Amino acid sequence: MGRYNFEQIIDRTNTDSLKYDFAIERGKDKDVMPLWVADMDFATAPEITDALVKRAQHGIFGYTYPKEEYQKTVLNWMKTRHNYEAKPEWLVYTPGVVFAISMALRAVTKEGDAVMIQNPVYYPFTNTVLENGRRLINNSLHYEIKDHRGVYTIDFDKFEDLIIENSVKAFILCNPHNPVGRVWTKDELQRIGDICLKHNVVIIADEIHEDFIYGEKKHIPIASISKEVENITITCTSPSKTFNLAGLQLSNIIIANPEIRKIFKKVMGKTGFDEPNIFGIIACQTAYTQGENWLEELKVYLWENINFVKDFIDTKLPKVVLTIPEGTYLVWLDFNEYGLELKDLENRIQKKAKLWLDEGIIFGKEGIGFERINIAAPRKTVEEAMNRIYEAFSDL
Ligand SMILES: Cc1ncc(COP(=O)(O)O)c(C=O)c1O
């Protein structure tokens, strides 16, 4: 074992945890094992907790705002970890990435404008587009099964055709792509960038999972592809997924284009949101200066969890088609070979296995027959979940 203990099972019940304390409210049985929403069952890096405790002991929690040091820290993280050089004045702080996407949509599109996404994708994209009165255009990812593994790619001809036919004004990129785990390559990002530049489409890049990349893959911020692409991109980042800080609500949005940035800030001003949360500021700064060792160990642990799931499926659930994630800690499982009605599949997962996963269909019709499982938990938890799935499908 390394320096940090990811095997420890921490009781998260009765902590107002969305994952653990809201099963009934969300229509699930009280005793389901939750592996749905994307937060982790690990304690954050101890350096972060120490810094938060120290700040809490000060006892005064008045208005706060990030200083130059904070900006430097965020930019340094982007530069050293993701080879992307941004400027301090490009940073805008929001209480979340979904909030930022909503602001971005209001900044760069009008009501009735078309906005493109690629299902199956993180479902709040759809809601945010529709709730803002924009038209949703979906360029479904191309899915095929090769050697019993799921493979997702972008249909670039369709990508461009849909943009032209619908006069698309903005495209929401998910990189790495939740739930299918693709880490888009330089070539793919270049093609996205070229098409968006050609047709004046603004790229809203949700790169919240940027720090969870496995093996030889590398996260490439789309804004780092070229100055031209950077100029049409709003990059949404946050330490919230990486260091398990979602409840602290702080995201760092990078907007190089001064016009877009100005409108984004203006639109955000209308919501009344101004100063970020003090604990978010402290946590982010500590994470990005002292959290790297923890993160590196965590990634090894997560990759072992992914491999555990892979081996389990290969030996005990041969009808499940796994898409091996290149990034994120979310694993996308295809149950379609069982040929079950959707209701039967859900019944087996929720009632027989007593698991609360994210049903594939919420990511779009492309997700029918799939389940997304969050493997950012101690191995014993993941093992228990996989055994429950095995039992629930053992009669088939
Ligand atoms: C792709 C993606 N974007 C955004 C979020 C949520 O971000 P926030 O809580 O900052 O709104 C998630 C959380 O699961 C996510 O997977």
Q: Is the CB of 38 inside a 6 Å radius of any atom of ligand 1?
A: yes
Q: What is the pLDDT of residue 156?
A: 98
Q: Is the CB of 208 inside a 6 Å radius of any atom of ligand 1?
A: yes
Query: Using alpha carbons only, how large is the chain's radius of gyration in Å?
Result: 21
Widest CA span in the chain:
61
Contact 170, 204 (CB under 8 A): yes
Phi/psi region, residue 112 (left: phi>0; alpha: psi -120 to 50; beta: rest), is left
Taking the centre of ligand 1 as the mean of its atom positions, its distance from the CA of residue 117, in whole angstroms, is 15
Q: Is the CB of 178 inside a 6 Å radius of any atom of ligand 1?
A: yes
Quote the CA–CA distance of 384 and 358 in Å, as a whole number: 17
Q: Is the CB of 174 inside a 6 Å radius of any atom of ligand 1?
A: yes
Helix 46-58 to helix 278-290 angle (10° resolution) is: 140
Q: Is the dihedral of CA 251, 275, 77, 227 positive or negative?
A: positive
Quote the CA–CA distance of 29 and 15 in Å, as a whole number: 18
In ligand 1, the atom with minimum distance to the C-alpha of 330 is 16
pTM above 0.85, yes or no: yes
Q: What is the pLDDT of residue 271?
A: 97
Taking the centre of ligand 1 as the mean of its atom positions, its distance from the CA of residue 341, in whole angstroms, is 30
Classify residue 83 by its DSSP letter.
Answer: -
Q: Inform me whether the pLDDT recorded for 299 exceeds 80.
A: yes
Q: What is the pLDDT of residue 2?
A: 80
In ligand 1, the atom with minimum distance to the C-alpha of 240 is 10
Alpha carbon 229 to its chain's center: 22
The per-residue pLDDT for range 183-242, each reduced to its tens digit, is 999 999 999 999 999 999 999 999 999 999 999 999 999 999 999 999 999 999 999 999
Q: Which residue owns the Cα nearest ligand 1 atom 9?
A: 96
What percent of the chain has pLDDT above 70?
100
Q: What is the mean pLDDT of the chain?
A: 97
In ligand 1, the atom with minimum distance to the C-alpha of 100 is 11
Partners of 170 in beta bridges: 115, 202
Which of 180, 229, 203 has the alpha carbon at shortest distance from 327? 180
The per-residue pLDDT for range 96-108, each reduced to its tens digit, is 999 999 999 999 9
In ligand 1, the atom with minimum distance to the C-alpha of 37 is 14
Q: Alpha helices of the chain — where are they, by DSSP H?
A: 46-58, 68-82, 97-108, 124-131, 156-166, 186-198, 227-230, 258-271, 278-290, 292-316, 342-347, 379-392
Quote the CA–CA distance of 306 and 327 in Å, as a whole number: 11
The per-residue pLDDT for range 236-256, each reduced to its tens digit, is 999 999 999 999 999 999 999
Q: What is the pLDDT of residue 1?
A: 59
The per-residue pLDDT for range 316-335, each reduced to its tens digit, is 999 999 999 999 999 999 99
Q: Where are the domains of the chain?
A: 62-290
Contact 330, 176 (CB under 8 A): no
Q: How many CB atoms lie within 10 A of CB 198?
A: 11
The per-residue pLDDT for range 120-173, each reduced to its tens digit, is 999 999 999 999 999 999 999 999 999 999 999 999 999 999 999 999 999 999
Q: 241, 248, 362: which to mutate for ligand 1, most atoms within 8 A of CB?
A: 241
In ligand 1, the atom with minimum distance to the C-alpha of 94 is 10
Nearby residues of 120 by Cβ (< 8 Å), 6 or more positions away: 140, 141, 179, 180, 332, 360, 363, 364, 366, 367, 370
CATH of 62-290, one of 3.40.50.1220, 3.40.630.10, 3.30.1360.170, 3.40.640.10: 3.40.640.10
Q: What is the pLDDT of residue 304?
A: 98
Q: 98, 105, 236: which to mutate for ligand 1, most atoms within 8 A of CB?
A: 98
Contact 356, 32 (CB under 8 A): yes
The per-residue pLDDT for range 334-384, each reduced to its tens digit, is 999 999 999 999 999 999 999 999 999 999 999 999 999 999 999 999 999
